[in-house]
Every structure is written in structure tokens, then in C-alpha cells.
């Protein structure tokens, strides 16, 4: 489905939350690289998709009522074979139903296991006085504990994105540390500009959360995305 269709479908259904699959589809159309992710409405479908895309894979609960999927026991990573997928599917359903008994669960989102990179977060929030602002930061424990993030008002240009990636306190981590690969910073800057361009061109979006993005020596990929509509 195209962005416009996804947005109008959500509005018809009177919901403000998009699924990870919808969010990645929209961001992908905006030129932002996301892990290809497809919906499986049943265990059998999940297995056949995994056989097709190849192992290892990741299964995540797909429900607009469960936005923090790990909290619900809704994420199973690094599944190596059919048996693991079947068990993960059952485990996800059991724990998500216990966590949110009224949640409407459409199935699981299936995706390949992405190679681990430097964990980044990017997103957009609406500031009460400035309107949409884009955000960049280091992911994982660093963002949770230190809130090491940088913001700019939309729209941004390349020079703004360059400031964003250079003003975070943990910027040394982007250059590689203890044998880890450096992150492709120019690529991340381009992603920020694409995100800003998309937000600027698309009214009615309240919040975007890409967490985590894995950054590599070359390129980067969004492995989880959330979009909230106004
Ligand atoms: P949540 O809704 O809890 O934020 P995520 O989709 O972010 O769920 O998944 C939780 C964690 O699982 C991520 O932070 C990441 O470390 C890992 N993960 C998720 N998807 C993938 C993937 N495709 N490849 C590798 N790791 C993944
Ligand atoms: Mg996440």
C-alpha cells in the first residue's frame, strides 16, 4: 500500500497508531531504509514466509493496541529454524494476550535478523511552540539513561543534520570504539534530511519513532518504527 492509502485507511478506522509494518512502508517510500517486514496472520503463514526469506528471523506481535512490543513479550529475535518460529509464534500470542487481553492482534510481523550495528534513534515530535522537530541520538542504554539527543526544527538542511550528529555527547561512539566499526555518519545525516522532508510534506503526523536504527560502516537500517497520527 502507498503512504496516502495507509493514512486514509487508518483515518477511516479512526485510529491514530500505525503498525510497524505500515510505518516501515511509509518511511521506505520516503527513501528511508527499513528492514523488509511482512504480516503473517497465522503460524503457518509465518513459517512459510520465514522459509522464503531465510533464517535467522525476527517475529513481533502486530497490533495497534501494543506499541511497546517487548514489554508485552511480543518480540522474538534470532530464530534459527521452523521449530523456533512455531514456538515463538505461540509464546508471543500467549504473553501478549495475557499482557493486553482486549488487544486486537492481527498476527505477527516477520522480518530478517539485521546485523547488529551502532544503535541510533531518530524521530520526530511536535513541540508546543516550534511545531515538528526532528531528533537524533544514540540508542540503547545511552539514550535511556543519559537522554543524549539533539533536536532541530523542521525543515532541516544538510548543514543542520551535520550539527545534529556532531553535537551529541557520545559522538565518539559514531567514530567507532574498541574495535567496533564506525557509523556511516553522512548516511545518517541524509536520513535525517529525508525524515524532515517527509514530515514537512505530510500533514497529520504527530510523532515518529525509529528505535533502533542500526548504523554500519556503510549505510544504516531501521529495525523498528512507530508512527502516531494527529
Ligand atoms: P519494541 O516495540 O519493544 O521497541 P523492537 O522492534 O524495537 O520492539 O524490538 C526490540 C529489540 O529487538 C530491538 O531494540 C532490537 O535490539 C531487536 N530487534 C528488533 N528487530 C530486529 C531485527 N530485524 N534484527 C535484529 N534485531 C532486532
Ligand atoms: Mg523499538
Ligand nearest to the CA of 112: 1
Tell me, what's the pLDDT at 189? 98
- ipTM of predicted assembly, 2 dp: 0.99
Planar angle of CA 51, 56, 58, nearest 5 degrees: 95
Domain with CATH 3.30.470.20 in the chain: 118-229
pLDDT tens string 33-84: 999 999 999 999 999 999 999 999 999 999 999 999 999 999 999 999 999 9
Tell me, what's the pLDDT at 18? 97
Q: Please work out whether the CB of residue 212 comes within 6 Å of at least one atom of ligand 1.
A: yes
Q: Which CATH superfamily is domain 118-229 in?
A: ATP-grasp fold, B domain (3.30.470.20)
Tell me, what's the pLDDT at 10? 97
Query: Phi and psi of 178, rounded to 5°?
Result: 45, 45
pTM for the full model? Answer: 0.97
Q: Please work out whether the CB of residue 75 comes within 6 Å of at least one atom of ligand 1.
A: yes
Distance 135 CA to ligand 2 centre (A): 15
The CATH code for residues 36-113 is 3.30.1490.20
Share of the chain above pLDDT 90, in %: 91
Residue owning the nearest CA to atom 19 of ligand 1:
223
Domain with CATH 3.30.1490.20 in the chain: 36-113
C-alpha cell at 18: 500505525
Amino acid at each position: 500500500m502507498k503512504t496516502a492509502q495507509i493514512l486514509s485507511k487508518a483515518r477511516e478506522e479512526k485510529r491514530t497508531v500505525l503498525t510497524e509494518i505500515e510505518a516501515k512502508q511509509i518511511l521506505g517510500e520516503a527513501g528511508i531504509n527499513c528492514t523488509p517486514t511482512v504480516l503473517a496472520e497465522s503460524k503457518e503463514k509465518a513459517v512459510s514466509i520465514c522459509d522464503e526469506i531465510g533464517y535467522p528471523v525476527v517475529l513481533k506481535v502486530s497490533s495497534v493496541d501494543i506499541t511497546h512490543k517487548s514489554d508485552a513479550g511480543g518480540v522474538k529475535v534470532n530464530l534459527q529454524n521452523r521449530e523456533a518460529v512455531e514456538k515463538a509464534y505461540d509464546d508471543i500470542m500467549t504473553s501478549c494476550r495475557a499482557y493486553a487481553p482486549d488487544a486486537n492482534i492481527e498476527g505477527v510481523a516477520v522480518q530478517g535478523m539485521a546485523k547488529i550495528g551502532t544503535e541510533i534513534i531518530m524521530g520526530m515530535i511536535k513541540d508546543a511552540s516550534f511545531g515538528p522537530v526532528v531528533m537524533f541520538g544514540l540508542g540503547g542504554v545511552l539514550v535511556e539513561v543519559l537522554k543524549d539527543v539533539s533536536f532541530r526544527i523542521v525543515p532541516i538542511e544538510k548543514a543542520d543534520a551535520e550539527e545534529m550528529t556532531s553535537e551529541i555527547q557520545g559522538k565518539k561512539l559514531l567514530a567507532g570504539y574498541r574495535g567496533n566499526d564506525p557509523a556511516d555518519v553522512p548516511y545518517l545525516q541524509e536520513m535525517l534530511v529525508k525524515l524532515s522532508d517527509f514530515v514537512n510534506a505530510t500533514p497529520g503526523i504527530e510523532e515518529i519513532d525509529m528505535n533502533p536504527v542500526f548504523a554500519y560502516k556503510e549505510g544504516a537500517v531501521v529495525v523498528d518504527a512507530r508512527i502516531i497520527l494527529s
